[in-house]
Amino acid sequence: METYTAVLEATAHILETRGLEAANTNAIADLAGVSVGSLYQYFPNKAAIFAELVRKAERETADALEAIFASTADRPFDERLRRLVQAGVAQQMVRPNLARIMDALETEMPDDTELKSYEDRLLALIGLFLGEHRAAGIGPVNKTAARDVLSIVKGMVDGASFAGESDAKDLERRVQRAVLGYLRSC
């Protein structure tokens, strides 16, 4: 497991600091402190490493949002929404260069059942959130609304990241206003 973790972190570091072109298996193995042969015991090629890095990020995001959702169950709608949006923005802003590259890598990945399961978890969570706060004057509680909310958040956060924005608080406010505007106009 140490080799696996070291390879993923080395890959993330290279992507973040030197870019996609520099992330080859020799450079990754060297930075991870393992032989190329050891790297290949865990990953057949660099595309597999990239895919696992994307999966790991999506899994961590889904886990974090579920934890926030559970820990704020008794809180008002606006506060819960703010906390969930903060987590979504933080995921992109903590390591923005890496996040941009991984977003691009994700669009190039073939259909991936594990990634799909994380998206399904997020959609289910958003659906539950909307359902629990139906009385807060929000719009419909259905799969379309959940997907729309997820798309608004992802689209705005990714767009801000690709534009090089670094003011997380401003982005959080804009995303929250967009989601509230959508939900209250339906």
| Local structure of 69: helix, strand or coil | helix
DSSP string, 49-67: HHHHHHHHHHHHHHHHHHH
Contact call for residues 105 and 173 (beta carbons, < 8 A): no
* CA angle 149–184–156, rounded 5-degree value: 35
In degrees rounded to 5, what are phi and psi of residue 159?
-60, -45
CA distance 103 to 49: 15
Does the reported pTM lie above 0.75?
yes
CB 99 within 8 A of CB 161: yes
Amino acid at site 44:
P
pLDDT by residue for the chain (186 residues), tens only, comes to 799 999 999 999 999 999 999 999 999 999 999 999 999 999 999 999 999 999 999 899 899 999 999 999 999 988 999 999 999 899 888 888 898 899 889 888 888 999 999 999 999 999 988 888 877 777 777 889 999 999 999 999 989 988 989 899 999 999 999 999 998 887
